Amino acid sequence: MRVRRTIMRDTVVRAGALTRTYRNGAETVHACDGIDLDVPAGEFLVIRGRSGAGKTTLMSLISGLVRPTSGAVEVTGVDVGAASESRLVELRRTALAGIPQEFGLLDALTAAENVEVPLRLDAVSPKRRDRLVAEALDAVGLGGHGRQRPGELSGGQQQRVAIARALVRPSRVLLADEPTGSLDSATAATITDALHAYARTHGTAVLVTTHDPVVVARADRVLEMHDGRLRAA
Ligand SMILES: Nc1ncnc2c1ncn2[C@@H]1O[C@H](COP(=O)(O)OP(=O)(O)OP(=O)(O)O)[C@@H](O)[C@H]1O
Ligand SMILES: [Mg+2]
């Protein structure tokens, strides 16, 4: 018998029977309902689904912001659902980047200072920080806006600051929750190119939730989420 050789790429996100339920009064909502998912390094994976399908809940389970009701999720071998808060902080510092649906910017900091936060946590030198921040802001078309605070920026500009903050350094896994939701289609195309290039350059698994056909068109794989369940599109 011939043995077929396959090139195995590292699986950097692995979910098994991952479930999260919420109670809304008498009703139980199955926000994530028995999800099995393997994501290899370098994959640009798109998760599509209607509002309320469970996309943000899935992202939050992977990043450890929300704990599973049952099942498990691992990121680079770390059991995120069971990890201590300090282990999660360490994981986010070293391996996991995110672009939250609500951006998660710090209002008191300028755009450039927001983008700089992950580099400060990494103790990157000030000179190198300045260069990396400038490059990241340029890459999202915000070169001239570094000194403005989030409150002085449009929704789409704020979203791009959150994207620059994620792209400013390499990570093993990037979670991008509707990253083009506040952008026009031309800007969305530029951002999608930047996310795609990031996956290819660093071998990062990029998980993107979206309704945007521009993003879907660039996917290595598209999954459909419906009532907390995930299936091939
Ligand atoms: N903290 C919470 N408490 C109670 N119910 C919640 C909570 N978070 C989410 N849900 C419920 O879980 C389901 C999935 O929500 P989720 O935010 O994951 O959907 P989504 O696919 O991200 O939607 P959208 O496209 O609108 O962002 C919804 O029915 C929602 O009401
Ligand atoms: Mg959502």
Q: Report all structural domains of the chain as residue ranges with CATH numbers, in order of start.
A: 41-67+82-232 (3.40.50.300)
SS3 label, residue 203: coil
Label residue 61 left, alpha or beta by phi (over 0 means left) and psi (-120 to 50 means alpha): alpha
Mean pLDDT of 128-142: 97
Ligand 1: residue whose CA is nearest its atom 30 = 52
Residue list, ligand 1 pocket, CB within 6 Å: 22, 24, 29, 31, 49, 51-57, 101
Main-chain dihedrals φ then ψ at residue 124, nearest 5 degrees: -75, 145
Ligand 1: residue whose CA is nearest its atom 16 = 54
Interaxial angle between packed helices 155-167 and 185-202, expressed in degrees from 0 to 180 and rounded to the nearest 10: 10
CB 183 within 8 A of CB 140: no
Query: What's the confidence (pLDDT) of residue 6?
Result: 47
Residue 55 alpha carbon to ligand 1 centre in Å: 8
Residue 74 alpha carbon to ligand 2 centre in Å: 21
Considering every ligand atom shown, identify the ligand nearest to the alpha carbon of residue 48 and give its number: 1
Percent of the chain predicted with pLDDT > 90: 94
Query: To test the ligand 1 pocket, which listed residue (55, 60, 66) has its Cβ within 8 A of the most ligand atoms?
Result: 55
CA angle (62 as vertex; 58, 68 as ends), nearest 5:
70
Mean pLDDT of 191-203: 96
Query: What's the confidence (pLDDT) of residue 8?
Result: 54
46-75 pLDDT, tens digit per residue, is 999 999 999 999 999 999 999 999 999 999
> Is a pLDDT exceeding 50 seen at residue 5?
no
CA distances, 128 to each of 119, 123, 231 (Å)? 9, 10, 43
Q: Which one has a higher pLDDT value, 122 or 167? A: 167
Name the band, by pLDDT with cuts 50, 70 and 90, for residue 41. Answer: very high
> Is a pLDDT exceeding 90 seen at residue 203?
yes
Of 158, 154, 217, 170, which is closest to residue 189 (Cα–Cα)? 217
> Is a pLDDT exceeding 50 seen at residue 173?
yes
Residue 178 alpha carbon to ligand 1 centre in Å: 14
Place of tokens 């992202």: 59
83-114 pLDDT, tens digit per residue, is 999 999 999 999 999 999 999 999 999 999 99
Mean pLDDT of 142-151: 97
DSSP alpha helix (H) spans, 6-96: 55-63, 85-94
> Is a pLDDT exceeding 90 seen at residue 3?
no
CA distances, 172 to each of 10, 13, 129, 189, 205 (Å)? 10, 9, 20, 23, 6
> Is a pLDDT exceeding 50 seen at residue 220?
yes
Residue 54 alpha carbon to ligand 1 centre in Å: 6
